[in-house]
């Protein structure tokens, strides 16, 4: 199985925090980023390799992770100019060798979903796709730019908060 993580957005709603770093590299705790958590979850879910779909400040992501994370191969698909989420996914799919099962996640989401359990349910089903939807309320909001984001106010580096909640996988019978 291959993982893909969308990491290319500008993070406009998190300015000024994202002027120098891409949103997936925002710390959750000291030197542990949102993308660290995403990669950790994938590595512990029997995903063999991951394609990071990058764009804005992609060189910082490549410098941090290189070509592997906890034994999981990392490839990069870099958008030179932003063309949208679907184009980023298409560019990642173009890197696949065969028809492979792909798990796609947003690179700015912190979740406690059990990916291994979700993918096991998917693998024993006859369905072509599974979508995981979370209904979650952040613990803390502060205004940043035009939107809100669950950050602790007053920190030099924003820290993302999350809490345990129920996950409701939805299985799509056909696509």
Q: Where are the domains of the chain?
A: 2-172
Mean pLDDT (the chain) is: 76
Residue 173 has pLDDT above 60, yes or no: no
pLDDT of residue 147 exceeding 60, the answer is: no
The pLDDT tens digits of the residues spanning 84-110 come to 888 898 899 899 887 778 888 888 877
Closest CA to 76 of 108, 43, 68, 105: 68
Helices (H), strands (E): how many in the chain?
4, 11
Cβ contact 122:173 at 8 Å: no
CA distances from 20 to 53, 59, 102, 106 (A): 18, 12, 30, 20
Q: Please state, in angstroms and rounded to a whole number, the distance separating the CA atoms of residues 89 and 4.
A: 8
Tell whether the model's pLDDT for residue 35 goes beyond 80.
yes
Of 134, 136, 138, 163, which is closest to residue 152 (Cα–Cα)? Answer: 138
Omega cis (within 30) before 136: no
- Global confidence as pTM: 0.75
Check whether 120 has a pLDDT greater than 80: yes
pLDDT bin (cut points 50, 70, 90) of residue 64 is: very high
Per-residue pLDDT at 165 exceeds 70: no
CATH 3.90.550.10 fits 2-172, yes or no: yes
Of residues 97 and 144, more confidently modeled: 97
CB 35 within 8 A of CB 74: no
How far is Cα 127 from Cα 83, in angstroms, rounded to an integer?
Answer: 30
> How distant, in Å, are the alpha carbons of 5, 116, 144 from that of 123?
20, 10, 40
Task: Decide if pLDDT at 163 tops 80.
Answer: no
- Check pLDDT > 60 for residue 13: yes
């Amino acid at each position: 199985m291959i993982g893909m993580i969308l990491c290319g957005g500008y993070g406009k709603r998190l300015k000024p925090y994202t002027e120098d770093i891409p949103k997936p590299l925002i710390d959750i705790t000291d030197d542990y980023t949102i993308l660290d958590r995403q990669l950790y979850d994938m590595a512990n879910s029997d995903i063999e390799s991951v394609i990071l779909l990058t764009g804005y400040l992609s060189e910082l992501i490549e410098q941090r992770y290189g070509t592997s994370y906890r034994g999981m191969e990392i490839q990069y698909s870099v958008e030179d100019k932003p063309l949208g989420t679907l184009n980023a996914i298409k560019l990642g799919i173009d890197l696949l060798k065969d028809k492979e099962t792909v798990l796609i996640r947003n690179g700015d989401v912190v979740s406690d979903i059990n990916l291994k359990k979700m993918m096991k349910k998917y693998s024993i089903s006859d369905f072509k796709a599974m979508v995981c939807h979370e209904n979650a309320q952040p613990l803390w909001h502060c205004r940043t730019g035009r939107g809100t984001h669950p950050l602790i106010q007053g920190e030099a580096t924003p820290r993302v908060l999350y809490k345990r909640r129920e996950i409701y996988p939805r299985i799509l019978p056909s696509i």
